[in-house]
Structure 1
């Protein structure tokens, strides 16, 4: 594998910096390790020109400039680019083992992505300290959440984020809808415990890490277990909850795993609504092997609702009662609409009107996904 073999290859006296050759940027620890592996692998493969590599990767939509940036830019490349480069270069290197090298380097890439998130958070904190300016929690949180509703094959999405009435109580609630290869999509809702700038910063890191993990093709429980392991290592006793689902619109199979979060709610095309019966798991940061995946055969036209506890709990209402009210409001809306399902943008507001009182004690997320 690369990380074993490259240590036996001597550096060529700084030749990487000469004209016509690839220069190494100054990078963080894990990114530097990743970049060094790419440079050594390029050396082992006989230093093919970037144009040659680009011709091989043309079908994958990876340009010569993207390949150059992977070697020379301080910006962390996407895993798709690293994965393709390792496959091409390792297959050209004597004794290359592309699959093993890819497995090793994706671990390094994940650590580099985590470092990148932490550096951005620390950089923002330093700027604030120098200017003695207070960061408004709501503004920071909105900056770390998705800015647009993605267009997904086989799934229609609607999203609502509601801040707490006391804006300084806004914490680490997040959501995500992530397109994956083929007719699949990942749907996520999560909540970092606590209401502070640190909770919001951690939310941004967990969201980025989970996005990367599901895009590696990991099933929901493995993605959540890996996320919990990272949280334990990097954030000590800071905890979070999260539910992660992957839906395949070709087979209509939904795979779900839960890490101590509120379960998703289902609205069937016939108007029946209920919370999915899934193991609750342990919160993120407690254990690295506590989550499991459960699969369901979904009926086209079903709508799923991913939420955080701020929607269904308050000082005067527990989560169980809140979920009962939510499911009743959805069934009632279906009955009122008759045989035709109400538009998703209208339907998502129904539980909000039923549950949200004048004072919202905690921030809340609601993501609705209508399956085709």
Structure 2
């Protein structure tokens, strides 16, 4: 608070830090009948309570922001007062009598106690808290009796000022403590328990917390200072939602202001509830005393009500329901913010869990679809030895649209296909299945690779999925010992000759399917016996810590080192290129090695490595 005119400013949902003097004094200043003043580091008045206004007759609007000494201290004492200010900031405090000046120019001798303020970490803020009260006027007699009376009055005034200052400091410390505890929890249940710890038994014997859904109050918490009244706690829970419109809790929610009931009159309480048991239960909980309902307000919105039943206990004596209401309002404001933050955090956490579960279900569906579309028993032509590998990326990654196929076209001619639908999830896997089906249909017509890709480009465009697809379609002719292929934006093929020398085929590639009219050039390479052709997708060679070109170079080196069966070569390549954190994208690999015509076996089908492929790790 900076002046009496601003007392209700805390009800708009604004929350200042514990170090903000305005907020700290907002709810406390009306509790102190003595004058309470805060002098800022520049010597100006920043807080001026109604007690100060009553004693010195200075309205807050006239004195706030003015120089404290020149405005409020008698002219004859101003120089000494400035020295006192330096002393207080140096030593931390001072108490004594000071002649203060009223607005009409009259001087009043006041008992004054001053303390330098500090942050919660003990650092001086430069501000000074002053509590003062007016001493009784003296007749001017010099008798010993008059002097003794004056000293006694001075002592009483100083003692009263000291007690009030300690009371203010206790309330400030409690609010800072409450703010710290409530700010540390993001769990709704723990936050409610913390509120109960703070307000019971200081503000009442029983604490009720109801949350407002716009139509009714839902009881979410009950706390009793007496641990042996479980039956009462259980019954009080059932009263939630039965309050009528004239119930103090409902009025507090609708008006945004606390509502106090001084005495629990059974007839009056019975009219507040639909439940006939309410009068007896409330009277028992409040011990015949009253109760107070304080709205829980945050971000300018009422989210519920905090109700305290029965007398509280603080400062060594019982408190009536509204006796420490300003402090309770501050606690309620901070409790509302903490409850709302906890509810938002809990909602976001549930949403994240649901989203993760939805993504896992979609991933499983896409993976099932993708694997069902890959050939479980790829054709093993007599003229080629074929080995394949496919597995999805890391568990947290969505399934992509990688695929491969081996298609018999005619005697001695086999189509080898690999492709990748850009994108992830069920949509990419579905589009991959449609494109793969189209490839198989066109391959049966024994068309050149270039024409196959042109037809596939039309298919992708007609699907209207706004996605692009890379693909290599190759046709192996065992009679000529050649591989004719065309690429629509896919990874370059690799060749490993009979001596184990590996190289990439850096031939021109067309644009991916679905980008523009496909015009992929066609290339022919010789593939003599024991020569291996390598088809792969970008997931094998590209990683967050490795670019595509570096990955292809590593693949070439791995193929040059590999030996043994084609299945063994697949495993060696996968292991050599596996990043330390595992593959983060789908991996598809197809190896095809030309057999020696003199030793070629009849065509067979071999099991795919799809189902048994090692998981990404």
Secondary structure, counterpart of 1:321 in structure 2: helix
Unmatched runs of 5 consecutive residues or more in structure 1: 1-131, 335-341
Cα distance in 2 for partners of 1:175, 1:220 equals 15
The SS at the match of 1:274 is strand
SS at match of 1:280: coil
Contact 1:220 1:256 (8 Å CA) reproduced: yes
The reply to whether residue 345 of structure 1 matches residue 567 of structure 2 is yes
Report the equivalent of 1:300. Answer: 529
Structure 2 counterpart SS, 1:348: helix
Residue 279 of structure 1 pairs with residue 508 of structure 2:
yes
Q: Return the offset for 1:144.
A: 1.3
Displacement of 1:289: 3.5
Q: Secondary structure at the match of 1:136?
A: helix
Distance in 2, matches of 1:153 and 1:133, equals: 39
- Could you tell me how far apart the structure 2 residues matched to 1:271 and 1:175 are? 24
Would the aligned equivalents of 1:137 and 1:168 in 2 still touch at CA under 8 Å?
no
How far off its partner does 1:277 sit? 2.1
**Aligned residue runs from structure 1 range 30-45, under 5 A:** none
SS in 1 for 2:495: strand
State the match for 2:451 in structure 1.
222
- TM-score (ref. length: structure 2): 0.37
- For residue 134 of structure 1, report the CA deviation from its aligned partner: 8.1
Which residue of 1 is the match for residue 587 of structure 2? 364
The correspondence of residues 28-177 of structure 1 with structure 2, limited to 5 A, is 136-166=365-395, 168-177=397-406
C-alpha separation between the residues in 1 aligned to 2:418 and 2:362? 30
Contact 1:138 1:167 in 2 (8 A): no
More strand by share: 2
Quote the residue 1:16 is aligned against: none
Q: What's the CA shift string for 1:292-320, capped at 9, x where partnerless? A: 21011222100111100000001111111
Higher RCO structure (Cα 8 Å, ≥6 apart): 1
Q: 1:172-251, aligned counterparts within 5 Å? A: 172-251=401-480
Instruction: Report the alpha carbon displacement of residue 135 of structure 1 after superposing the two structures with TM.
Output: 5.2
1:242/1:260 Cα in 2 relative to 1: closer, same or farther (>3 Å)? same
Q: Which has the larger radius of gyration?
A: 2
Pair 135,288 (structure 1): closer, same or farther in 2 beyond 3 Å:
same
Relative to 1, partners in 2 of residues 1:139 and 1:236: Cα closer, same or farther, differing over 3 Å? closer
Q: Which runs of 5+ in 2 are unaligned?
A: 1-360, 596-617
The structure with more helix, counted as a fraction of residues: 1
Cα shift at 1:350:
1.6
CA contact (8 A) 1:189 1:307 kept: yes
* Change over 3 Å in CA distance of 1:133–1:261 after alignment to 2: closer
Secondary structure of the residue that 2:455 maps to in structure 1? helix
CA contact (8 A) 1:254 1:296 kept: yes
Q: Which residue of 2 aligns with 1:354?
A: 576
- Say if 1:168 and 1:196, in contact at 8 Å, map to a contact too: no
Q: 1:316 aligns with which of 531, 540, 545?
A: 545
Equivalences, count: 234
Query: Secondary structure, in 3 states, of the residue corresponding to 1:300?
Result: coil
